[in-house]
Amino acid sequence: MSSLQVSGRELLAVSGDSVVEHGSFVMAPWAGRIRDGALHLEGRTYRLPTDRTHPHAGHGLVMDRPWQVLDAGEDRAVLRRDLDSRWPFPGHVLQEIVLRPDALAQRVEVHADEQPFPVTIGWHPWFPRAIGDGPPAQLTFQAAGMLRRDGAGIPDGTVVGVPEGPWDDCFTGVSWPAVITWPGQLRLRITADTDYLVVYNERADAFCVEPQSGPPDGPNTAPVLANPGAPVTATTVWTWE
């Protein structure tokens, strides 16, 4: 998604030139990073495409490819993207977007077409620090803990207390909603049926609040399998006032 406007206010930001630096995109069949681009499953290691700026595989495989429109109307769209040869297993992703007067509901399904494979799902929205000339946004959320990152920037499995920001981190045991307030302008409440939330707020112009069904490197460390006929699903709802 490149734009979401509420009463003339743009809620999605552009923070750079690359596909991962603007708007909001779905992360599938994994969310966040997979360590060293290596997917380990049943004694085999599969190589995934890695990022130009670090050795890990980042943000899944559907953010930079066209989607097939299965259904579309004034307030609803259903999209499909088949997983290509960069993913070692046949599968596809369905995305449903429903617009209401006060909310945007999103649902993603990852389907295994022939054999089971591990999945995490996420959304990666960029929000502006300020709307127009207004004051900076305020973010509040509750989580049981934060996953400690190792020297490679990947969680090492240890849960620690939530420190003061800024963050480029994954939180677990999230109690939704996460609330973004642009004082005097608008409040956005983000809910999801996921246990994880990634927050990136180290830039001055924009920040990310990312619901995820699993942690970074989750297909290796906390695998949830999509099976033929039994997809992995996740939903998020953004409500504004």
Q: Is pLDDT of 52 > 80? A: no
In Å, how far from its chain's centre is CA 40?
A: 22
Q: Is pLDDT of 7 > 80? A: yes
Residue owning tokens 């077409």:
113
pLDDT band at 57 (very low <50, low <70, confident <90, very high): very high
Higher pLDDT, 14 or 180: 180
Residue ranges per structural domain of the chain: 5-240
Cis check: omega of the bond before 66, within 30 degrees of 0: no
pLDDT band at 51 (very low <50, low <70, confident <90, very high): confident
CATH top-level class of 5-240: mainly beta
What phi and psi, each to the nearest 5 degrees, are found at residue 78? -125, 125
Q: Tell me the whole-structure pTM to 2 decimals.
A: 0.96
Residue 227 CA to residue 118 CA, distance in Å, equals 9
CA distances for 215 relative to 68, 155, 194, 224, angstroms:
28, 8, 10, 11
pLDDT of residue 53: 73
pLDDT, tens digit (0-9, with 9 covering 90-100), for 178-233: 999 999 999 999 999 999 999 999 999 999 999 999 999 999 999 999 999 999 99
pLDDT, tens digit (0-9, with 9 covering 90-100), for 74-93: 999 999 999 999 999 999 99
